[in-house]
Amino acid sequence: MVLLSGGGGHMRGQTFICLLPLLIGYSSQSCQKDCSKENQDVYGMDVTQIPVSLKAGVTEVFFVDSNITVIPKGAFATNPKLEKVAFINTPTVSVENGAFEGLVNLKHIEISNTPLTSLSVDVFQDLHNLEELLLKHNKIRSLEKGLFDGLKKLRELQLHINKIDTIEEGTFDDLENLRTLHLAKNDLSSVSSALFSKLHKLEVLRLYENQLTAIPDDILENLSNLKEIALQSNNITSISAILFPHKDKLNKILLDNNMLTELPPGIFVGFPLLKALTLNGNKLASLPPVLFGEMPKLTELSLSRNSLTSLPQGVFSPLKKLKKLDLSNNQLLTVSEESFEGLEKLTELNLQYNLIKSLKANTFEKLTSLTTLRLAHNILGTLPEDVFDPLTKLSKVYLNNNTWHCDCRMVPLFNWMKANPGKIKSMTPEICNQPEDLKGQEIMSLKEDQLICPVSPLTTIPSLTTTTTLQHNTVTQYSNTATQYSNTVT
């Protein structure tokens, strides 16, 4: 990689061919074609102020690690043909009003990884052709109404990794062509219903890793073109049944790592294009019987790290294309065949770290495509005979850290394990928990004749001879009594 050094503050052409992809998102393939264009200039760490003039033909200028603390008014006044300006990893603390004045062709501004804490309302005034504004990884604390006014052509606004805790109503109202709004990793504790109401063309809304505790029911009502909503890693406790009024274009709904305790019935019905749905890391104790509709694009679903104790019959049955289902780290006591109805295409099932005590022989009967089954870290004592027989494609099984009872009931599982050692992929060996004389021993080290069940002592049954004798004595006694009575009468 070519690095900007103290000896070469101003670097042009081929010298930064391998640096720009990392800074401005070019792929390595496009780098070879585009990075050495004569229309680009890069300035390094020896630069302390913006040059008055740039070389002829430059339309893109980058300040990387430059020691520029202030972007002054009229900074590029003599370079009106600029289309892209970037300040990356600079000690910039101030952007003066009018800093970009005269740049009527400017399409891209980036100010990232700086100590900048605020921006004045008029700083982007008259930039009518601006399409991308990247203000990520700074220290910005608030956004005022008017800051983005006039940016009618802006398509992408990145404000993630700042300290934003306040956004005034109407701040985004003028961004009628905005497609992507990135507000993740800030300090927002609330957002209002009206905040995004004018963003009719918005496709991507990212609010993850903030401090949100609630989401207004109608916050997405006017976002009919939304494709992605990212709300993960907040403190959201509930969501409304009407939160997603426009379902036909959504392909990502990210809700993991919140505080959700329940989900409204049917909330995920009617999403024909949904590819990603994350619900892991919440506080869900149960699921409604009808939760999902058909999602032909959804191939993976995680409900791990919740508090689920059971699964409604057929709850996943509409998810015909699902290939991976993660139910690990819950409190499931058992699962049944009905739990996995409709999942004929499932290839991976994770049930690790639950409280499953037993399984029926037909539990996995319909999962004929299953290749990976994780049952480790439960409290299974044994498994039914032939439980794996329907799983003809099974190649990876995890069975470690259970409470295996190494007695006669273990024989079918023991024989299967001995016959299929290559399929057992446990991180640690399967260990006997009972009986006492085998406790701690590896199951695979045992022999079948060690798997025995204790025989209870037989109960003593009176012999036939004794019974017959008793009966004979009783009859004799009765006969003698009758004879005695007869003699008396005579």
Q: What is the pLDDT of residues 232-243, one digit of tens each?
A: 999 999 999 999
Q: How confident is the model at residue 205 (pLDDT cuts 50, 70, 90)?
A: very high
| Tens-digit pLDDT profile for residues 365-405 | 999 999 999 999 999 999 998 999 999 999 999 999 999 99
Least confidently predicted of 105-114, 180-189, 311-320, 466-475 = 466-475
pLDDT of residue 458: 55
Please tell me the distance from the alpha carbon of residue 254 to that of residue 280, in angstroms, as a whole number: 10
Its pTM stands at 0.85
Q: In whole angstroms, how far apart are CA 442 and each of 76, 401, 405, 433? A: 74, 11, 12, 10
Do 61 and 37 contact (CB within 8 A), yes or no? no
67's tokens:
């020691």
Q: How confident is the model at residue 433 (pLDDT cuts 50, 70, 90)?
A: very high
pLDDT of residue 357: 96
Do 361 and 338 contact (CB within 8 A), yes or no? no
| Tens-digit pLDDT profile for residues 440-453 | 999 999 999 999 99
Distance of CA 386 to the CA centre of its chain: 34
Q: What fold characterizes domain 260-475?
A: 3.80.10
User: Is the pLDDT confidence value at 289 over 70?
Assistant: yes
Q: In whole angstroms, how far apart are CA 199 and each of 107, 151, 160, 204, 279? A: 20, 13, 18, 11, 26
